[in-house]
Amino acid sequence: MEQIVREVVLDQVLPRDLPVRRMEVRRISIVPDAAVGWHTHNGPVFGSIETGSAFYQLRDEPEIVLGPGDLFYEPADERIRFDAGPEGVSFLAYFPLTDGQEAALDLVD
């Protein structure tokens, strides 16, 4: 029996080269049924659901429900909807940032 198992769970190709200078990781918690609504980020965001659930939708693609252990990717400058489920949601969000860049979220219609 192997003592260490390594499994790729997400291998996301980015649309362009990104000169990453630092990685910011945030634990984000959203109360039950809170709607963040449609938004964009100024850089890619990767995430992992810790507890609860979230409704995730990218552009006009079908909505999916994310639960504990699920991973997600939010591309830079794309319309995304990420709303808390009935039990709320807590997740880790990973922001690869370029030199001098701060992570930003902009609400859109």
Q: Is residue 48 part of a domain?
A: yes
Tokens of 45: 């965001």
Q: Is residue 21 part of a domain?
A: no
Tokens of 69: 């252990």
Q: Is residue 57 part of a domain?
A: yes
CATH (domain of 96): 2.60.120.10
Could you tell me which of 71, 72, 82, 103 has the C-alpha nearest to residue 39?
82
pLDDT tens-digit profile of 9-21?
999 998 888 899 9
Q: How many domains does the chain have?
A: 1
Rounded CA gap, 90 and 30, in Å? 6
Amino acid, single-letter form, for residue 98: T
* pLDDT, the chain, mean: 96
Q: Is residue 22 part of a domain?
A: no
pLDDT tens-digit profile of 14-72?
888 889 999 999 999 999 999 999 999 999 999 999 999 999 999 999 999 999 999 99
Q: Is residue 4 part of a domain?
A: no
Predicted model pTM:
0.90
Q: Is residue 91 part of a domain?
A: yes
Segments forming the whole domain that contains residue 57: 27-107
Q: What percent of the chain has pLDDT over 70?
A: 100
Q: Is residue 13 part of a domain?
A: no
Q: Is residue 38 part of a domain?
A: yes
